[in-house]
Chains A and B, each alone.
Chain A
Amino acid sequence: MKLSSHVPSGPLEQKWDRHCFELPLINPANKRKYQIIVVGTGLAGASASASLAELGYQVKTFCIQDSPRRAHSIAAQGGINAAKNYPGDGDSVRRLFYDTVKGGDFRSREANVYRLAQISGQIIDQCVAQGVPFAREYGGLLANRSFGGAQVSRTFYARGQTGQQLLIGAYSALMRQVDKGGVKLFPRHEMMDLVVSEGQAVGITTRHLLTGEVKSHFAHAVILATGGYGNIFYLSTNAIHSNVSASWRCHKKGAFFANPCFTQIHPTCIPRSGNYQSKLTLLSESLRNDGRVWVPKKAKDSRLPKDIPEEQRDYYLERIYPGFGNLVPRDLASRQAKFQVDAGLGVGSTGEAVYLDFTEAMNRLGKKSLSEKYGNLFQMYEKITGENPYKTPMRIYPAVHYTMGGLWVDYNLESTVKGLFILGEANFSDHGANRLGASALMQGLADGYFIIPSTITSHLAGCLPVSEEKKHISLRESEKESEERLQNIMQIKGSKTAGDFHRRLGNIMWNQVGMIRNKTGLEKAIEEIQNLREEFWKELYIPGEQSNKNAELEKAMRIADFLELGELMAQDALEREESCGSHFREEYQSAEQEAIRDDENFCHVSIWENKQNEKTWNLHKENLDFKEVPLSVRSYK
């Protein structure tokens, strides 16, 4: 199979406009003849559903929560980037583009990133018009702040709840279309399968999470906006129900998976407190704007932070990266924290944490101004840990947060299955090997509001009519297949719970496929995952019936897919013999523990194909050309 990214020709700045002009149009009266399925109601899914329905398509929108407003985009705290240059500090579309390509360590597609930067401004316009209450200055204009790794202030925010506010905006646009009849909503439905007929996506099969009903739904195009797969690590900042199953089902039906090993570890999370822990909570990295990261200079120093004098503290980020200090990109901040902890310098009861100190900011800004900026984050920290960050430094540690990898898409966001489009975190995305802070919200909304409504015509205009009979057969087949899978898993009747397997898988992933990887570890991980998978299909126990709300069954179905993805992630990490962005291979580092990228051999997207019912993957490569941002060593020193 020949993969084409379908990037339009012409100068970078004109590609998107030119492409929009060249895309086929669909007569307004004809739009309502097309049915489109959207899976997921996060930023990408909700905005796509709303925008497509506004255009006149018949949209069916599915989500696993009881309400579309609860998708996990809601938990994003920090903000959303846009090249508006309101502060006049030298920002521009080109600079946002440049920063994103460089931040992604040259593993993203230039044309896609440029388009993202171009659209970023429109997103802010759209959201403000919807009534998203962004932070404002006293003059009434929008406020901006600098965010994780950026040297300009281009991040728009709504206290620490930017994701929530943007999602409520998209959700309300979606509900407006529900009212108008443009969108039919299916809450509490989980996607079980992609229905493919003659190489074309023609619908999905779902399971109703309360009744267990398995049912197929037809569509002329299917849009997946189901988020990332960070939950494979068991402990992550993802919501409990975030999962890879929708993507994985598509992968099994012919959608290629790209760069699965690119997983972002967020440097500022609240550390784990015990084995019972079910998830980790992220604290917006905007905290690093005013907080200073440090560890004691002496190993195993058990004194209270306030008792450790200034000269015995190591503000290691400021020391190692004097230019960027505490604001270095996420991967560097995370890795350095791990190095400190591995060297025995970690703090707190588990020794798996570093300090984030606000004493200096308290003196400089005062408590009031600090609480205005971070009040709710401080509160959140105190609720979880019982400690007051105004008085004692926070303890933070990295946690899995975002996955840059995902289903491969071309410039139209179409996967390798015709008519299947992937948006937001679920696609392999514009962030390369590492995502900059406040760029996920930007990408999700760019995909949903502005890209898919234009590019979907590339499929719809030429979409071949499927005969009623064929359609019927494929839908029924998919239903049958899904029901069989459910029966198979219910029939195992072993003795171990799904949660048990999840924890063990998470352990393997975190230790061997986490922040720091090496050949031996990855090979061991592959073997361990294979064994675990085998055990899973023998030893699993699910109580209750299929025809009820059955959280254990849901969990088990998701873990079954994670158990396959885990192997692919390890394989991808093994194959990529270089260190780039979030992917750090011990074998490929300099004497100063800096990543060594290998552009000669790995300047490509690794794209994995899984033939149905086969246990191995074929590797395809999409070579990446960097014409506008010359390949350079990413250095923040």
Chain B
Amino acid sequence: MRLKLNIWRQKKDEKKGCFESYEIANLSPDMSFLELLDQLNEQLVQQKKTPVAFDHDCREGICGSCSLVINGNPHGPHKGSAACQLHLRSFKDQEEIWVEPFRATAFPVIQDLIVNREALDRIIQVGGYVSVNTGSAPEAHSTPVEKAKADEAFSNAACIGCGACVAVCKNASASLFVAAKLSHLALLPQGQAERKNRTLKMVKQMEREGFGSCTNTGACSRACPKEISIHSIARMNREYFKSLLS
């Protein structure tokens, strides 16, 4: 098959960029979207042009490096998957595809399709953990955890930190990312001691990083490769008041 790609090109240290068009032929529908970019880059290198810079690593939807918006959809059209799990069989022959980086004020573009997502790390840094020094842990079986809660904690802990929730949100809000981490730890007995402090600190950091507020559209949940529920955001809101009031 054959595709027309419009890819966002932006030089390092420059504030502006633009789309450039590339035609690429002899593609297999079983090819992954990143393999398409590989092939394009191989072509560009052979033509002595600068290849397209993009973040990628594991290529199996778990490392969270992907930061592509494909035809307006972060990670492409499918639900519950990252851009690296998208295959060309999802596109029509001759289709025109627009590829852009994740966009948000808190995620400045570095080069082409690469963005800076350190803001998410800084949010985790202020409290997204249980403070337990190595070696000081009690025996694992000393605290049973209700299976339903453990499962829900897992569903939230499954966040891969890609930032698609921010990318898709009309307000560029990181609420789902923060709520997932708060939910993961608030649901487990191990997370209780720091529950309030963690909530206050992480919410505050989210605000400082310049993410928008949540208008409950649910687009984040739908774009999330791990399909984390928007109800986690309600939990975050609840946790925040509880933390503030006590």
Q: Pick the residue among A66, A86, A168, A278 that contacts B157 (CB under 8 A).
A: A168
Contact B12 A549 (CB under 8 A): yes
Over the window 59-96 of chain A, the binary record of Cβ atoms lying under 8 Å from chain B Cβ atoms (1 yes, 0 no) is 00000011111111011000000001010000000000
With both chains docked as a complex, state the minimum distance between the C-beta of A515 and any C-beta of chain B, in angstroms. Answer: 22
With both chains docked as a complex, state the minimum distance between the C-beta of B12 and any C-beta of chain A, in angstroms. Answer: 6
Q: Pick the residue among A131, A179, A449, A548 that contacts B12 (CB under 8 A).
A: A548
Also in contact, A142 and B140, with CB within 8 A (given A130-B129, A273-B30, A552-B45): yes
With both chains docked as a complex, state the minimum distance between the C-beta of B6 and any C-beta of chain A, in angstroms. Answer: 21
Selected interface stretch from A6-14, A29-37, A158-166: A158-166
Q: Is B93 an interface residue (CB 8 A)?
A: no
Closest to A372 in B: B151
Q: Pick the residue among A67, A158, A276, A552 that contacts B117 (CB under 8 A).
A: A67
Q: Is A50 an interface residue (CB 8 A)?
A: yes
Q: Is A286 an interface residue (CB 8 A)?
A: no
Contact A133 B157 (CB under 8 A): yes
Main secondary structure of the interface of B (DSSP, over half): loop
> For B39, B46, B121, B184, which residue has the most chain A Cβ atoms within 10 angstroms?
B121
Over the window 37-56 of chain B, the binary record of Cβ atoms lying under 8 Å from chain A Cβ atoms (1 yes, 0 no) is 01101101110111101011
With both chains docked as a complex, state the minimum distance between the C-beta of B243 and any C-beta of chain A, in angstroms. Answer: 18
Q: Is A277 an interface residue (CB 8 A)?
A: yes
Also in contact, A47 and B65, with CB within 8 A (given A137-B147, A165-B157): no
Which residues of B have CB within 8 Å of A389?
Answer: none
Tell me the bound Cα distance from A126 to B145 in angstroms.
16
Q: Is A172 an interface residue (CB 8 A)?
A: yes
Which residues of A have CB within 8 Å of B190?
Answer: 128-131
Contact A129 B50 (CB under 8 A): no
Q: Is B28 an interface residue (CB 8 A)?
A: yes
Q: Is A466 an interface residue (CB 8 A)?
A: no
With both chains docked as a complex, state the minimum distance between the C-beta of A179 and any C-beta of chain B, in angstroms. Answer: 5
Q: Is A239 an interface residue (CB 8 A)?
A: yes
Inter-chain residue pair count (beta carbon < 8 A): 224
Q: Is B16 an interface residue (CB 8 A)?
A: no
Over the window 76-99 of chain B, the binary record of Cβ atoms lying under 8 Å from chain A Cβ atoms (1 yes, 0 no) is 001011000101010000000000
Which residues of A have CB within 8 Å of B137?
Answer: 122, 125-126, 128-130
Tell me the bound Cα distance from A375 to B151 in angstroms.
14
Q: Pick the residue among B30, B39, B63 that contacts A74 (CB under 8 A).
A: B63
Selected interface stretch from A196-204, A362-370, A379-387: A379-387
Of residues 231 to 274 in A, which have CB atoms within 8 Å of B's CB atoms?
239-241, 273-274
Also in contact, A239 and B58, with CB within 8 A (given A125-B137, A126-B137, A276-B31): yes
Which residues of A have CB within 8 Å of B118?
Answer: 66-67, 187
Tell me the bound Cα distance from A449 to B136 in angstroms.
11
Contact A176 B131 (CB under 8 A): yes
Which residues of B have CB within 8 Å of A71?
Answer: 63
Contact B146 A450 (CB under 8 A): no
Q: Is B150 an interface residue (CB 8 A)?
A: yes
Tell me the bound Cα distance from A176 to B145 in angstroms.
24
Q: Is A175 an interface residue (CB 8 A)?
A: yes
Over the window 111-147 of chain A, the binary record of Cβ atoms lying under 8 Å from chain B Cβ atoms (1 yes, 0 no) is 0000000000010111111111111111111100000
Also in contact, A51 and B134, with CB within 8 A (given A172-B128, A240-B59): yes
Q: Is A633 an interface residue (CB 8 A)?
A: no
Q: Is A519 an interface residue (CB 8 A)?
A: no
Which residues of A have CB within 8 Å of B136?
Answer: 129
Closest to B116 in A: A66
Q: Pick the residue among B62, B63, B125, B138 that contacts A125 (CB under 8 A).
A: B138
> For B116, B124, B160, which residue has the most chain A Cβ atoms within 10 angstroms?
B124
Tell me the bound Cα distance from A276 to B37 in angstroms.
11
Tell me the bound Cα distance from A68 to B138 in angstroms.
27
Over the window 502-513 of chain A, the binary record of Cβ atoms lying under 8 Å from chain B Cβ atoms (1 yes, 0 no) is 000000000000
- Interface positions of B (Cβ within 8 A of A): 12, 28, 30-32, 34-35, 38-39, 41-42, 44-46, 48-51, 53, 55-65, 78, 80-81, 85, 87, 89, 110-111, 114, 116-118, 120-121, 124-126, 128-141, 143-147, 150-151, 153-154, 157-158, 160-161, 184-185, 188, 190-191
